[in-house]
Amino acid sequence: MSRWIKACKLEQVKIGQLFGFSHEDKKILLANQKGKIFATDLICTHAYADLSTGFLSAEGVRCPLHLSVFNLQNGKPDNLPADVALKTYNVKIEQNEIYVEV
Ligand code: FES
């Protein structure tokens, strides 16, 4: 059963920024793309790379290790070498706090 967890304050993820956090066994990435917050898995599906140290653009988040770009809406990679989608999570904002459904 899914539940909402509090991730961080909204101002901790400014436009164009990435933010990684852990909750129990999950590692989650928050991305602020043009003012909209997205949540995906933090670790690349290709190898062990922390996507919060990657690069955010209009296309999505680019892995810092081998440069696959993942779409933030569906988690799918646009280019090799990654060929498995990141898991994506629902996000809501309440009273300036970001919540993620895990
Ligand atoms: S580790 Fe991310 S593309 Fe290889």
Taking only the tens place, the pLDDT of each residue in 35-44 is: 999 999 999 9
Which of helix, strand or coil describes residue 84? coil
**What is the pLDDT, as a whole number, of residue 65?**
98
Q: Match 């892995």 to its residue by tokens.
A: 63
CA angle 15, 69, 51 (to 5 degrees): 65
Number of separate domains in the chain: 1
- Name the residue range of residue 8's domain: 4-101
12, 8, 25, 31: which is closest to 89 by C-alpha? 31
Residues lining ligand 1, judged by CB closer than 6 Å? 44, 46-47, 49, 63, 65-66, 68, 81-82
pLDDT at 66 over 90: yes
For the domain that residue 90 is a member of, what is the CATH number? 2.102.10.10
pLDDT at 7 over 90: yes
Choose one of 48, 65, 78 to mutate for the ligand 1 pocket test, by most ligand atoms within 8 angstroms of C-beta.
Answer: 65
